[in-house]
A = this chain, B = another copy of it.
Amino acid sequence: MNDSVDALPRAGRPRSEQARRAVLEAVDDLLVDVGYAAMTMKGIAERAGVGRQTVYRWWATKAEILIEACVEDAEEELSVKPRTDPEHDLLAYLTALSGFLTSSPAGIAYRALLGEAQHDPAVRDLVRAADPLAPSARRVLDRIRPATPGLPDEPLATAQLIGPVLSHALIAAEPLNTATLRRHAVGLLTAWR
């Protein structure tokens, strides 16, 4: 990619970066203030101080805005620094994941999007394409692979790693406690060695 070079100067007024930022921030604010269901395109435009047409020009649905607003944050919040032994490595990741899904604005946005994906196939495709959890999970699994010869192929390894944490977050909207997460990490290593 080399957008700055390829970008030929198009005719007409260029897109306002200020308006783009205002919309993304408005979505973040509204998700926290009123929740996903009560968030409307009209409300987003008003909160952002932006015309409604400007929102519709660049995003078709609130899900599209939300996914753009949270992907970067997700990647950053789930990048845990490597530990020396596999158990601590897994535990650090599972802790970050559990906190992300239950406390972080980006994680709450992810849950909302995954919820909307159950209602709307278009949102499902967006979420699968963006896939905010998989990269970080894959990195952890790659790190522990030398110590886990029984590690299954995808998608099972990732599902076994994040599935229990994600499901609990979706059903209970609460984090699993640290002892439980450690127990889960140990169980995975037992199964995978």
Q: Are A180 and B165 in contact (CB under 8 A)?
A: no
Which B residues lie within 8 Å of A128 (CB)? Answer: 171-172
User: Given A156-B183, A191-B188: A112 and B119 within 8 A (CB)?
Assistant: yes
Give bound CA distance, A119 to B171, whole Å.
Answer: 12
Name the distance in Å between A32's Cβ and chain B's nearest Cβ: 13
Q: Are A118 and B112 in contact (CB under 8 A)?
A: yes
Q: Are A152 and B118 in contact (CB under 8 A)?
A: no
Q: Are A35 and B119 in contact (CB under 8 A)?
A: yes
Give bound CA distance, A41 to B117, whole Å.
Answer: 21
Q: Are B119 and A37 in contact (CB under 8 A)?
A: yes
Copies in the complex: 4
Which B residues lie within 8 Å of A112 (CB)? Answer: 118-119
Name the distance in Å between A121's Cβ and chain B's nearest Cβ: 8
Nearest first, the 8 A-B pairs at minimum CB distance are A115-B118, A163-B163, A163-B164, A159-B164, A163-B167, A115-B115, A187-B191, A37-B119
A-B contact pairs, 22 of them (CB 8 A): A35-B119, A112-B118, A112-B119, A114-B115, A114-B170, A116-B119, A117-B170, A118-B170, A121-B173, A152-B187, A156-B183, A159-B163, A159-B167, A159-B184, A160-B164, A160-B184, A163-B163, A163-B166, A163-B167, A163-B168, A187-B192, A191-B191
